[in-house]
Structure 1
Amino acid sequence: MQCRYTFGGDEHLFVEIDESMSLPAFFKSMAMTSRLQAMALPGLKEICPANASFQVRFDPDVIHPEVLLRQLQEIEEEVGKSASNELQTRIIEIPVFYDDPWTNETQLRFRERHQDPSSTDLAYAARINGYDSVAAFINAHASSPWFVSMVGFVAGLPFMYQMVERERQIQVPKYLRPRTDTPKLTVGHGGCFGCIYSVRGAGGYQMFGVTPAPIFDHAQRQPYLKDFMCFFRPGDIVKFKPINLPEYEEAVRLADEGQLSLRIRPVSFSMAAFEEDPAAYNRSLIEVLYGD
């Protein structure tokens, strides 16, 4: 895949990796933006990664647009030639209370906006993805890791892409019309992307459950939020862990006291090794997470 470069006004350069989202496109975007950031070019103001693209903001009085363009084209060539590109990132366990009472109550208030008003979001997602039960669908959702491909829409909200072969990826349409309410920390899914709603508000993704772990907090009360008020960053790998109501309530209690901890481990991700055997590579990632 070859990038397409487009200038946006005087201060922005948009780089489209591919027209459709894929793990190789995402990985190429991360490799390019990581190298660009490490160069610390004078005049470079901001790098904003997305699912299969990224945008760069720069000061044209400091770095000429054509100079920046040539630099990015050189980075693209280097990334394409390298057979050992690896992403230094982290793998994170996120507890999820699936089929919870709060998203279920919210669903009932907005069924007329859903494709199947007689079904729950989980039952609908299980059926159209070929699973014979909600339990089997939840297992599929939680058993494989997910990449955080971008963060946005509202502060701290991660868009996540399932790390399985394309034919095995969970896909569900968004609501026919968006809801005007979604519980805070809802784990949702729309199209091929999962997400966690960082705050309460409108939304159109199917709702599968809730996590007790705050992912956006300007007061930065949790140990894992000490570095920044938004927890997730592009390139993070997420492993969901199903929990029950007592476990959820205990985690909420710890979060309210500012004492909730998450299992987080550093990991080196290799796109080549993943493509060679996705299932085996995912097992190795999970072993890193639970290895001690």
Structure 2
Amino acid sequence: MKTRYTFGGDEHIYVEMDEEMSLDAFFKSLSMSNAVRDAKIPGVTEICPANASFQVRFDPDVTHPDEMLKRIQELEAKAEDAEKRMTTRIVEVPVFYRDPWTHETLMRFRERHQDPQGTDLDYAARINGYDSVDAFIEAHHSAPWFVSMVGFVSGLPFLYQLVEREKQIEVPKYVRPRTDTPKLTVGYGGCFSCVYSVRGAGGYQMFGITPMPIYDPRQQTSYLRDFMVFFRPGDIVKWKPIDRAEYDRITAEVEANTWSPRTAEVTFDLAEFNADMADTNKKLMEALDDA
């Protein structure tokens, strides 16, 4: 991987690890972000990590842009040698696939889609070579997902599927974005799944909806009282298919502040994952059963 550095005006430096997303690029980005933070370079005001890159905002009156670039580049070797291992958590996220709300929305915006005659799930299953929507849904929830970035919209996680590259689901975004997407829609664009934290415009394919709030600026949800955003980079997600009855039950418990997501502490080691993905994923998913 060849790291690319570019300026964003006088106050930003953008550092891109690779042109395509990979866990190696993510871990290097995370290590470099941490290294910049630990270095306490004078003038740095903000560090914003992304899927395989990060951006540094700084005050050019404190540290000249050329000097800031030099200081950041000097940290790259340290990031290359950093241990690609982290203690994190796995979270079970319930998903009501083929729900009525995203279905109504996707049919309303059918003229903006690659396949106006079907549904988003029909299209995604077909172009990924699955014989049925049920088989495609199983592929979506049968392996864990890695939260590589949180942002774009407040609290929205980007999730990267923990499988071999050739097995990864890939689905293009809508031809033209929608002006509406239900809150907590489980979407898909490119190689990333996501959860829409708020209602609004969007272009990702819509597969279902979760009853689990992931963003609460008022911090009234029981498990969001300490911080308004649930997900953080490095989290691992296990999707759990649910039906309408389960969706309604969880929704009622969320409103009563008696529900919280199942979580478990796990260790993710990139070398172990690359050596045996199936066994690593099995251990990650089983950690929730032991919690």
Residues 229-269 of structure 1: CA distance to partner in whole angstroms, max 9, x if unpaired?
Answer: 12112222111111111111011111222332011223222
Distance, in Å, in 2 between the alignment partners of 1:288 and 1:259 is 23
Contact in 2 for aligned 1:29/1:49 (Cα 8 Å): yes
Pairwise CA distance, 1:74: 3.4
Pairwise CA distance, 1:217: 0.9
1:14 aligned onto 2:2: no
Contact in 2 for aligned 1:144/1:162 (Cα 8 Å): yes
Pairwise CA distance, 1:79: 2.5
| Alignment of structure 1 residues 1-292 onto 2, 5 Å | 1-82=1-82, 84-292=83-291
Which residue identity lines up with residue 141 of structure 2 in the other structure?
A: A
Residues 122-147 of structure 1: CA distance to partner in whole angstroms, max 9, x if unpaired?
Answer: 11111111111111111110111111
- Give the total of aligned pairs: 291
Change (3 A) 1:71 1:151: same
Which residue identity lines up with residue 127 of structure 2 in the other structure?
A: I
Moved more, 207-216 or 144-153: 144-153
Pairwise CA distance, 1:61: 3.8
Which residue identity lines up with residue 141 of structure 1 in the other structure?
A: H
**Percent of matched pairs sharing the same residue:** 63
Distance, in Å, in 1 between the alignment partners of 2:161 and 2:247 is 24
Contact in 2 for aligned 1:222/1:259 (Cα 8 Å): no
Contact in 1 for aligned 2:8/2:14 (Cα 8 Å): yes
Moved more, 184-193 or 220-229: 220-229
Change (3 A) 1:207 1:87: same
Which residue identity lines up with residue 237 of structure 1 in the other structure?
A: I
Which residue identity lines up with residue 18 of structure 1 in the other structure?
A: D
Pairwise CA distance, 1:10: 2.5
Q: Secondary structure at the match of 1:290?
A: helix
Change (3 A) 1:2 1:263: same
Residues 95-129 of structure 1: CA distance to partner in whole angstroms, max 9, x if unpaired?
Answer: 10111111111122111111112211111111111
Displaced runs of 4 or more, over 6 A: none
Q: Secondary structure at the match of 1:260?
A: coil
Which residue identity lines up with residue 178 of structure 2 in the other structure?
A: R
Q: Secondary structure at the match of 1:248?
A: helix
TM-score normalised by L of structure 2: 0.94
Q: Secondary structure at the match of 1:89?
A: strand
Pairwise CA distance, 1:89: 2.3
TM-score normalised by L of structure 1: 0.93
Change (3 A) 1:128 1:101: same
Distance, in Å, in 1 between the alignment partners of 2:267 and 2:194 is 23
- Structure 2: give runs of 5+ residues left out of the alignment: none
Q: CA RMSD in A?
A: 1.7
Pairwise CA distance, 1:9: 2.4
Which residue identity lines up with residue 215 of structure 1 in the other structure?
A: I
Distance, in Å, in 2 between the alignment partners of 1:223 and 1:70 is 45
Moved more, 54-63 or 191-200: 54-63
Pairwise CA distance, 1:285: 1.4
Which residue identity lines up with residue 60 of structure 1 in the other structure?
A: P
Change (3 A) 1:73 1:88: farther
Distance, in Å, in 2 between the alignment partners of 1:264 and 1:62 is 43
Pairwise CA distance, 1:66: 4.4
Pairwise CA distance, 1:39: 4.1
Contact in 2 for aligned 1:44/1:57 (Cα 8 Å): yes
